[in-house]
């Protein structure tokens, strides 16, 4: 079966129009959301704090935790594995928070106990 050149042109035009419409649909801006707070919206992993030679000073550790959304930071201390631990509050609830040598933060059920997080 032989098709006319106008059929090929029509099919090409249809394909081009469909492709253009898909591109326009994907190029639409996302709906406006509240701006993210730096550090607070990092993904959470199930990884515990990592042991290692920690180069953060006490002041740097406190700033890092504060930047991640923790306030009321108290009893900041470093354990034998190089992990900083502190009592703090996040979103109004008391937590035990940690900061490892890679700069990741998380929360623990009890000091130096089972850890969660990994921000």
Q: What is the pLDDT of residues 72-109, one digit of tens each?
A: 999 999 999 999 999 999 999 999 999 999 999 999 86
Residue 4 lies in a domain: no
Enter the tokens of residue 18.
């469909």
| Residue 75 resides in a domain | yes
Give pLDDT, residue 51. Answer: 81
Structure confidence at residue 34 (pLDDT) = 46
21 domain-assigned: no
Q: Is residue 97 domain-resident? A: yes
Range of the domain at 105: 58-117
Instruction: For residue 71, give both structure tokens.
Output: 């306030």
Q: HSE (CB half, 13 Å, CA atoms) of 29?
A: 3
Domain count, the chain: 1
Q: What mean pLDDT comes out for the span 20-27?
A: 54
Q: Please indicate, yes or no, if residue 5 is contained in any of the structural domains.
A: no
CA 83 to CA 45: how far, in whole Å? 17
Q: Is residue 8 part of a domain?
A: no
| Position 85 in a domain | yes
Q: Tell me whether residue 108 is in a domain.
A: yes
- Residue pair 65/73 in contact (Cβ under 8 Å)? The answer is yes
In the structure encoding, which two tokens stand for residue 40, read together? 């607070």
pLDDT at 114 exceeding the cut of 60: no
C-beta of residue 72 within 8 angstroms of C-beta of residue 80:
no
pLDDT tens-digit profile of 36-72? Answer: 444 454 444 446 788 888 789 999 999 999 999 999 9
Report phi then psi at 57, rounded to 5.
-80, 170
Q: What is the pLDDT of residue 63?
A: 95
């Amino acid at each position: 079966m032989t098709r006319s050149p106008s059929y090929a042109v029509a099919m090409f035009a249809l394909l081009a129009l469909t492709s253009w419409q898909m591109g326009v649909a994907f190029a639409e801006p996302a709906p406006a959301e509240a701006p993210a707070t730096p550090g607070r919206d990092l993904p959470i992993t199930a990884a515990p704090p990592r042991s290692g030679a920690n180069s953060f000073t006490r002041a740097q550790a406190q700033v890092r935790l504060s930047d991640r959304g923790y306030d009321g930071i108290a009893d900041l201390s470093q354990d034998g594995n190089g992990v900083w631990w502190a009592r703090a509050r996040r979103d109004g609830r008391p937590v035990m928070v940690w900061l490892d040598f890679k700069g990741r933060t998380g929360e623990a059920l009890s000091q130096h106990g089972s850890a969660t997080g990994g921000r």
